[in-house]
Amino acid sequence: MSATSYQSPWVNDEVRSFRTTVRQFIDREFAPHQGRWRQQHRPDAGAWTTAGGAGILLTDVPKEYGGGGGTFAHQAVVLEELAHAGIQFGSSIHSLVAHFILAYGTEAQKRTWLPGMARGTLVGAIAMSEPGAGSDLHGLKTTACRDGDDYVINGSKTFITNGSHARIVCLAAKTDVKAAGPKGISLIIVEAKDLPGYRVGPPLEKVGMHGQDTCELFFDDVRVPASSLLGPAEGRGLFQMMEKMGYERLAIGVAAVATAEQAVAITTKYVKERMAFGKPLIDFQNTRFKLAECRTEARVARVFLDRCIERVLAGQLDDVTTAMAKYWLTDCECRIVDECVQLHGGYGYMADYPIARMWTDSRVHRIYAGTNEILKELIASSL
Ligand SMILES: Cc1cc2nc3c(=O)[nH]c(=O)nc-3n(C[C@H](O)[C@H](O)[C@H](O)COP(=O)(O)OP(=O)(O)OC[C@H]3O[C@@H](n4cnc5c(N)ncnc54)[C@H](O)[C@@H]3O)c2cc1C
């Protein structure tokens, strides 16, 4: 097998054919609108229903709930294709919400919310982080107090992906303000359409990921039915988050490796075309060695990621290995993308060059879904 013909072992014919469908969909429906998405700081609302119609959403949710009936392999293909195209679309957070509902929801909750999420008529968001509590969720201040058959929610959330389009907000809130430690936190699904007291802030000005919808959410005496609680009892929220965040961490690892591979590919093309001192940049030993290093690191990353995907498909991926994947793959991605920016020279710093956007977009991979430092703590706890 040549170095270029490496095949991920989890990609079979059916997954390969799904990849073709996804790639064509992204080229046709998403890529032409990227300039506008970046300007308006979010995808078009219609992008969600178009994606739902094409079977790109909830690919790994059972068909009985409207999903694609596939596996994490299908989800990985969507993430890889979005990353290759450099498109920010919060479908992995959307999927994560669906997996919270799938894991902890009642049958009625699954049937109420999942089909609309699969169609893209209900967009999902996860609302955990607050201005004063990101890594340390014990510090949450948002409360959901029981009042008759309702919860009354007060507080605010920040950095919420899909915030402005979200209709299904998976909210982490304190249901017991007196409980010490994690026991006071619960997850509640907030159906956000036309909800009195619920307000979405303007898009946050990020340094990258300009096309992704990231907002603050405000809750001012918001009432939701008590039946919106996820799980059999209050106080399980932090445990539920710890159990399910692995899904998002692996998803970020998938996007990280796909981005690193794409960075190497576009940079290789660039240095073959760009001339300096009368020859293409690729003829300089430094260029060749830097790209050789990047390509090697990307391959090492790919092999580890593929092993993680195989294990998740077999139901055997543990949290510590998932943390290793998210931490190491995103650090590796940032190293590679940064080298590739350098090999582009000044053009690598120009916003209309894909490598420059990769540089600003990828940086946050080391920060969200558990910072890489928090993940090292998790890994260290297994020593
Ligand atoms: C673009 C974007 C999208 C996001 N999307 C969402 C979303 O959809 N939903 C959501 O709920 N949140 C979201 N977040 C929030 C994200 O998860 C948090 O920013 C992240 O968890 C870090 O929290 P923080 O920003 O409060 O940083 P802090 O917790 O204040 O951390 C600051 C620094 O201190 C370090 N640190 C903190 N504690 C420790 C420790 N114990 N040991 C060592 N180092 C430590 C951190 O690693 C970090 O380097 C998003 C953030 C961004 C930027």
For residue 322, give the DSSP letter.
H
- 5 pLDDT tier (thresholds 50, 70, 90): confident
Segment 241-266 mean pLDDT: 97
Note the pLDDT of residue 121. 98
pLDDT(3) > 70: no
Instruction: Name the nearest CA neighbour of 220 among 154, 130, 128.
Output: 154
Average pLDDT over residues 176-184: 85
pLDDT-based confidence at 66, cuts 50/70/90? very high
Half-sphere exposure of 5 (CA within 13 A, CB side): 2
Note if 248 is an active site residue.
Answer: yes
Rounded-to-integer distance, Cα 301 and Cα 287, Å:
21
Identify the pLDDT of residue 60: 98
Confidence of residue 179 (pLDDT cuts 50, 70, 90): confident
Position 4 scores a pLDDT of: 66
Task: Spell out where the chain has E strands.
Answer: 123-127, 143-147, 150-161, 166-174, 185-191, 198-200, 214-225, 275-276, 279-280
**Closest ligand 1 atom to Cα of 93:** 8
| Of the candidates 160, 163, 143, 158, the residue with the CA atom closest to the CA atom of residue 222 | 143
C-alpha span between 292 and 269 (Å, rounded):
14
Backbone angles phi, psi at 190, to 5 degrees: -105, 120
The pick from 95, 100, 129 for probing ligand 1's pocket by mutation, whose C-beta has the most ligand atoms within 8 angstroms, reads 129
Residues for the chain: how many in total?
A: 383
pLDDT of residue 183: 86
pTM of the model as a whole: 0.97
CB burial of residue 202 (10 Å; 0-12, 13-18, 19+): exposed
pLDDT at position 1 over 60:
no
Q: Among residues 80, 130, 216, 248, which one is catalytic?
A: 248
Percent of the chain with pLDDT over 70: 99
Ligand 1 center from residue 288 Cα (angstroms): 36
Mean pLDDT over 70-91 rounds to: 97
Tell me, in angstroms, the distance from the centre of ligand 1 to residue 134's CA.
Answer: 5
Per residue in 97-155, pLDDT tens? 999 999 999 999 999 999 999 999 999 999 999 999 999 999 999 999 999 999 999 99
Segment 198-252, tens digit of pLDDT: 999 999 999 999 999 999 999 999 999 999 999 999 999 999 999 999 999 999 9
pLDDT at 86 over 90: yes
Pocket of ligand 1 (CB under 6 A): 93, 126-129, 134-135, 159-161, 206, 209, 214, 364, 367-368, 371, 373-374, 377
